[in-house]
Structure formats: C-alpha cells, structure tokens
Amino acid sequence: MPKISERLAVHVDSVRKTFVLHHTHSLKESFVALLRRKRLTSTFNALESISIEIHEGESVALLGLNGSGKSTLLKLISGVLRPDSGEIGVRGRVAGLIEVGAGLHPDLSGRENVYLNAAILGMTREETEARFDEIVEFAGIAPFIDQEVKHYSSGMFLRLAFAVAIHTELDVLLVDEILAVGDEPFQKKCLARIAELQQAGKTLVVVSHDLGMVQRVCERGIVLRKGEVVFDGPSAEAVEFMRAS
C-alpha cells in the first residue's frame, strides 16, 4: 500500500451547495411569471455543510444512491461548481476526470482528440507527447488513431477517452463511474493502471456504484445520503454500511 502523506490534498470545509431551479427560460417568461406572482425559482440542497479531509496519496470512494450529492461534490472539488458557503482547498493540479469523454469531439481524429482532451484535462504539450504512444497502446486503437472518432465503436470511443484520462498523471484524480467501461481485459488493465497511480502517490477520489470494485481499489469510503456524510471509514465497512441501508 502506498504511503499516505500528512499533508492534505483536498480539504472540504463545511461546504453547502444549493441549486436554484429556474422555472423560466427567457426574459419574457420571467416577466410574465413576475406579473402573475408565480415563483421564478425553487431551491434544492445538493450538499449540506459537508466537511471532508483527504490526504495526499489516499484513495477515497464516494458512495451513495443516485442524487445523494456525489457528483456535485466531485464537481466542487474540480472547480466546475462553486460552493454557496464553506471553502474548498486543493493541492497541486486536479484532473477533472468527471465523466469520461466529455472532451472528445466526434469530427476530430483519434490523434487530435488525444491532444485536445489531454490539454482540457490540464496536460501540457510535452506531457502529452511523452505519453502519446502509451495512451494509444492502452486504448488498443493503434490502427484507427488517424480516423475520425465518430467512426469508432462505442467501446473504442470510451476506451480512448478513458486511456487519456487515466494517463493525465496530475496530483489529484477525480473519477466518476470509473469502470463502467470496456470488457473484462480492459477493466483489468485499468485496475492495474490505477494501482500504478496509487504507488506513485497520486490522490484518487472515485465515485462508483460498483461496490466490489470500490472495496478493492480504495482503502477509505465515504457514504453520502441526501447531501450529508453518514459514514466515513475503511472502505469495507463503508460498503457494508451501504449494503445494510
């Protein structure tokens, strides 16, 4: 097991996130709603005053049912969303791995997509060039690398996206629904790669519904329910907690 540092990699300090649901989508609708004294918005608390400390080198799984606030928390850590109150601090470069494939463009070739997607995730040109062959090899799409991505099968598409994401080698990796991708051999490769990253002292925050996998990959599990932390401890116990509830 990798050594866990004393230093914090991610610090979530009493963070609350409220979503405002707009019921109108144009100025006209807003105006009409105002005249009729209808409510323009309603609010929904996705996270209620959450505090979490994650140390460098830790692998943490966020568990919970749909709508419990896991993805919102990842988005807050990556900076896509901002907390309404409380503070978040991160150390080093955070790879926004949220939902694999967001940065792929169907009209670009595989090669162009590797560079673009890696840059979107925060890599420099030199870093991408150094890992390019490894990424293509990992995705297993070498013969098709100069074809447009829209001609890829859905499996190839996801493998490419995942290969780029998992080779970013930034300090903190945020992973949403990690191994919903690929066949058995590919999943094995992914797990091996994740173990490498853990050995290298990277910090991982993983969201997944695959409890068995989570238990193998992460040593710590945090269970969220309706935007609150209801369990924080060893992943095996977190998984039991999830199964019991």
Partner 1 sequence: MTSEGRRAGDPGLVKPGRSRGLLDVPRYRYLLSLLVRKEVSIRYRGSVLGWIWSFAKPAAMFVVYYLALGVFLRLNDAIEGYPIYLFSGFVLMNLFTESFGNATRSLVDNAALIKKIYMPRELFPVSSTIVALVNFLPQVVVLFVAALILGWHPTWEALGAFLLATVIAMVFATGLGMFFGSINVSFRDSQNFVELIIMVSTWASPVLYQLALVREAAPEWLFVLYQLNPLTPAVELMHLAFWEPTLDQPLPEPGAIGMFSLIAFLISFAVLFLGQLVFRRLEGRFAQDL
Structure token digits, residue 148: 């447009």
Bridging pattern class, strands 220-225 and 228-234: antiparallel
CB of 187 to partner 1, least distance (A): 23
Q: Residue 45 forms beta bridges with which residues?
A: 18
- C-beta closer to partner 1: residue 60 or 76: 76
Stretch that binds partner 1, among 69-77, 137-145, 213-221, 236-244 (CB under 8 A): 69-77
Structure token digits, residue 90: 């991160």
Interface with partner 1 includes 203 (CB under 8 A)? no
Interface with partner 1 includes 151 (CB under 8 A)? no
| Options 79, 85, 153, 233; binder of partner 1; rule CB under 8 A | 79
| Options 16, 55, 91, 111; binder of partner 1; rule CB under 8 A | 91
Interface with partner 1 includes 103 (CB under 8 A)? yes
Interface with partner 1 includes 85 (CB under 8 A)? no
CB 52 within 8 A of CB 229: yes
DSSP string computed for 41-60: EEEEEEEEEEEEEEETT-EE
| Options 60, 73, 98, 166; binder of partner 1; rule CB under 8 A | 98
CA distance linking residue 105 with residue 64, whole number of Å:
31
- C-beta closer to partner 1: residue 178 or 211: 178
CA distance linking residue 173 with residue 74, whole number of Å:
10
Residue 205 phi, psi dihedral angles, 5° rounding: -120, 120
Interface with partner 1 includes 33 (CB under 8 A)? no
62: left (phi over 0), alpha (psi -120 to 50) or beta: beta
| Options 5, 55, 115, 240; binder of partner 1; rule CB under 8 A | 115
109's CB contacts (< 8 A; 6+ apart) are 145, 146, 147, 148, 149
Interface with partner 1 includes 112 (CB under 8 A)? yes
Structure token digits, residue 243: 């199964």
CB of 208 to partner 1, least distance (A): 17
Bridging pattern class, strands 59-63 and 220-225: parallel
Interface with partner 1 includes 39 (CB under 8 A)? no
Interface with partner 1 includes 14 (CB under 8 A)? yes
CB of 216 to partner 1, least distance (A): 26
Which amino acid is located at 208 in the chain? S
- The closest of 157, 165, 156 to 190, measured between CA atoms, is 165
CB of 30 to partner 1, least distance (A): 8
Interface with partner 1 includes 25 (CB under 8 A)? yes
Sites of contact with partner 1 (CB under 8 A): 7-8, 11, 13-14, 19-20, 22, 25-28, 30, 75-82, 87-92, 94, 96, 98-99, 102-103, 105, 107-108, 112, 115-116, 119-122, 124-125
